[in-house]
Amino acid sequence: MGSWMNLGQNLKVNAKRFPDTIALKDAGRSLTYPMLNSRVNRLAHSLLSMGLVKGDKVAVLMENSIEIVEIYLACAKTGIIIVPINFRLVSQEVAYILENSDAQALIVQNQFVPTVESLRESLAAIRPERYVVVGQEKSGYLPYEQWIAGAPDAEPDAEVAPEDAWILIYTSGTTGRPKGVLRSHRSHIAFYLINAVDFGFSQHDICLNVMPLCHINSTYFTFTFTYIGATVYVHPAQSFRAEEILEIIEREKISFISLIPTHYNLILNVSEAARKRDVGSIKKLLCSSAPVRKSMKLAIMEFFPGVELYEGYGSTEAGIVTVLKPEDQMKKLGSIGYESLGTDFVKILGKDGKEVPVGEVGELYSKGPMLFDGYYKLPEKTAASFRGEWFSAGDMARKDADGYYQIVDRKDNMIITGGEHVYPSEVEEVVGSHKCVFDCACIGLPDEKWGEKVVAVVVPKPDVKAGEIDEKTIMDCCKGKMAGYKRPKEVIFIKPEEMPRTPTGKILHRKLKERLAKR
C-alpha cells in the first residue's frame, strides 16, 4: 500500500529529478542532489554498521553545517531517531539530554569535544566505538569523513513508515526543564507539503538557513526546500552578524529566510554602508518564534521593499498553527493570522474548558496534521497538554470578529499585581516602541504592597547617548497608552548580552525574574 515518502526516501527521487541542482551550500562547499544522496547513503550504512537499528537514537552536538543536514537525512532513511542538542548548553545540560533520551551514539563537532569529554565517563549507554567527530580528528572518536568514505552508496535496506519517529528534540525550557518532543516523519511530511503550498515555495527558491538546526524552526524550513528540490545555503548559527547576512543575500541571491525578531532588529540597525546591499532577490520573509512588535514589522517591510512578509505562530509540538499572510500585514498588525492550511479551527478556551467569547483572552488549543506524538517518558505531561485531540503550548490568545488571532502572552509569564492580570507582551509593545529602546522584557517582581510589581527590563540601542533614556523616559512613554496598574513601577537597564535567551532568541522571562529577584 502506498504512502508519502519521508525526507530521506524523497532524496533519492530528487537526485534523479534534479541532477544539476545545488541541494546544499556553505561558504566553501556545494553539493548537488546526486552528490548529497550518495553521501547520505554512505552515512546511513555507517550508522547501521555500528549496530544501530530502527528506533535507536543518535545524539548530535553540532553547529549548523552540511554534515548535520546529512545526519538528519540518514536517520530518515534508516529509521534511526536523531536527538539534536543545543550546542550552547553546558556539560550538565548536555548530560541530562543524553541520559534522558537514551542516546546510543553521539556525533559531535570538534569544537564541542571538550564539553563531551567532561562527562563522557558518566555516559554508560554510549559505547566507546560510537563516538564520531566532525572536523579536526580527536583521539577516541571516529573521524566523520573517514568513517563514511568506505561505506557503500547504495540505498540502505530499511523499512521506514510515515508514522515512525524521526526526531526527539528538546524544548527550549522557557518555563522549566526541557522536555523531549517526539515527532514522526508523517508530521514533518505534512509540514513540508502544506507550507510549500501556503507560502508558494518552488524548486527555484534559495533558502538561507540561519536558525540553529538543533531547533525545530530549522528542521521545518530547511527541509521544506530539500523536500521540493530547491537550494539551501547553510550558515553557522553561533554568531549572527547582520552585515554578513546582507552580504550573503546579495552574493547568493537568497529568496527566503526565516528569522526571529532579534535578528530583524539587528538588521534594522546596520550601518548606512550595509544598507546599500542589494537585497532585491528576497521574495519572502518569515518572522516567528517570538511576538513581533508592530513598529518592527513596518520597519522590515521598509528595509526589504516589495517583500512578502509572513508571520507564523506555532511550537515544537504543534508545528505551524497560524500564518499571517502578506496581504494582511497592514490590515492586521499585531495579529498571528488565521489557521494554517490543513489545521482545524483553533479553540480559545477559558479555565472551565469552554470557548470564550470573541475578543476575550483564553488559552489557545490547536489540532492539525503537524502535531507531535508526545513528550518522551512524560505521559502525564503529554496528557495535561491536551483536551481531547486539542493541544496547548500554554499561550494565551484572543480571536477577533474576522477570525484572526492575537497572542497575548504565555500563561506562565502573566503578572498578578494587586489582583489584576498583566500580560508582559502588552507592556513590551509600548516600551519597545520608544526610539531609544533596542529590546525589552517585562517581568513581575515581589512587592509588599501589590504582591508583584511590573518591572521593565530595557536594552538601549547602541548609539544612544547618556541622558537620552532613563527610568522617567520609559515611564512617560507608557502614560496614556495603558492602564496605570499595567505601567512599569521600576525600569532596569541592562546590556544586550545580559538578556537571557533561548538558542532561537526568545527571552527567558523566568531566568530574568530569578536573577533580578536576588538583587
pLDDT tens per residue across span 403-419? 999 887 776 777 878 76
Which residues in 217-235 are b (16+ Cβ under 10 Å) and which e? Answer: bbbbbbbbbbbbbbbbbbb
pLDDT band at 350 (very low <50, low <70, confident <90, very high): very high
- Residue 273 is inside which H or E element, if any? none
Closest CA to 261 of 499, 10, 46, 24: 499
Record the pTM: 0.85
Tell me, what's the pLDDT at 176?
Answer: 57
**Average pLDDT for residues 60-76, to the nearest whole number?**
97
Tell me, what's the pLDDT at 300?
Answer: 93
Is it the case that residue 175 has pLDDT exceeding 60? no
Tell me, what's the pLDDT at 231?
Answer: 98
Tell me, what's the pLDDT at 473?
Answer: 92
> Could you state, in order of their start, the residue ranges of all structural domains in the chain?
7-16+29-184, 414-517
Count of CA atoms in the C-beta half-sphere (13 A) of 9: 16
Phi, psi of 70 (to 5 degrees): -60, -40
Residue type, 162: P
Tell me, what's the pLDDT at 504?
Answer: 65
- Residue 25 is inside which H or E element, if any? strand 22-25
Cβ-based neighbours of 367, under 8 Å, separated by 6 or more: 343, 344, 389, 390, 391
What nine digits make up the cell of 271? 550601518
CA distance 308 to 315: 22
CA distance 72 to 221: 13
Tell me, what's the pLDDT at 179?
Answer: 92
493 - beta bridge partners? Answer: 458
- Note the pLDDT tens digit of each residue in 20-33: 999 999 999 999 99
- Note the pLDDT tens digit of each residue in 100-127: 999 999 999 999 999 999 999 999 899 9
pLDDT band at 177 (very low <50, low <70, confident <90, very high): confident
Tell me, what's the pLDDT at 506?
Answer: 75
Of 31-35, 208-212, 454-458, 477-481, the least confident: 477-481
234 - beta bridge partners? Answer: 209
Please report, rounded to a whole number, the percentage of residues in the chain having pLDDT higher than 70: 97
* 3-state secondary structure (DSSP) of residue 309: strand
Is it the case that residue 448 has pLDDT exceeding 90? no
Of 40-54, 263-277, 382-396, 436-450, the least confident: 436-450
Tell me, what's the pLDDT at 92?
Answer: 86
What nine digits make up the cell of 178? 526541557
CATH of 414-517, one of 3.40.630.10, 3.65.10.10, 3.50.50.60, 3.30.300.30: 3.30.300.30
With contact defined as beta carbons under 8 Å apart, do 457 and 425 qualify?
A: no
Of 47-51, 146-150, 249-253, 425-429, the least confident: 425-429
Of 165-169, 203-207, 358-362, the least confident: 358-362
Tell me, what's the pLDDT at 343?
Answer: 92
* Residue 326 CB neighbours (<10 A): 14
**Average pLDDT for residues 286-300, to the nearest whole number?**
81
pLDDT band at 291 (very low <50, low <70, confident <90, very high): low
| Triad 291, 294, 297: Cα angle to 5° | 85
132 - beta bridge partners? Answer: 107, 142
3-state helix, strand, coil in the chain (%, to 5): 35, 25, 40
Which stretch, 317-331, 426-440, 443-457, has highest mean pLDDT? Answer: 317-331
pLDDT band at 172 (very low <50, low <70, confident <90, very high): low
Q: Which residue has the cell 497572542?
A: 407
With contact defined as beta carbons under 8 Å apart, do 216 and 316 qualify?
A: yes
The residue that leads in pLDDT, 385 or 429, is 385
Tell me, what's the pLDDT at 424?
Answer: 83
pLDDT band at 509 (very low <50, low <70, confident <90, very high): confident
**Average pLDDT for residues 357-376, to the nearest whole number?**
95
pLDDT band at 503 (very low <50, low <70, confident <90, very high): low
CATH architecture, domain 7-16+29-184: 3-Layer(aba) Sandwich (3.40)
Indicate the average pLDDT of the chain: 91
**Average pLDDT for residues 59-72, to the nearest whole number?**
97
CA-to-CA separations, 484 to 353, 437, 489, in angstroms, rounded: 31, 21, 10
pLDDT band at 298 (very low <50, low <70, confident <90, very high): confident
How many residues does the structure list for the chain? 519
Tell me, what's the pLDDT at 467?
Answer: 81
Query: Are 7-16+29-184 and 414-517 the same fold in CATH?
Result: no
The residue that leads in pLDDT, 333 or 46, is 46
With contact defined as beta carbons under 8 Å apart, do 430 and 486 qualify?
A: no
**Average pLDDT for residues 186-197, to the nearest whole number?**
95
**Average pLDDT for residues 332-355, to the nearest whole number?**
92
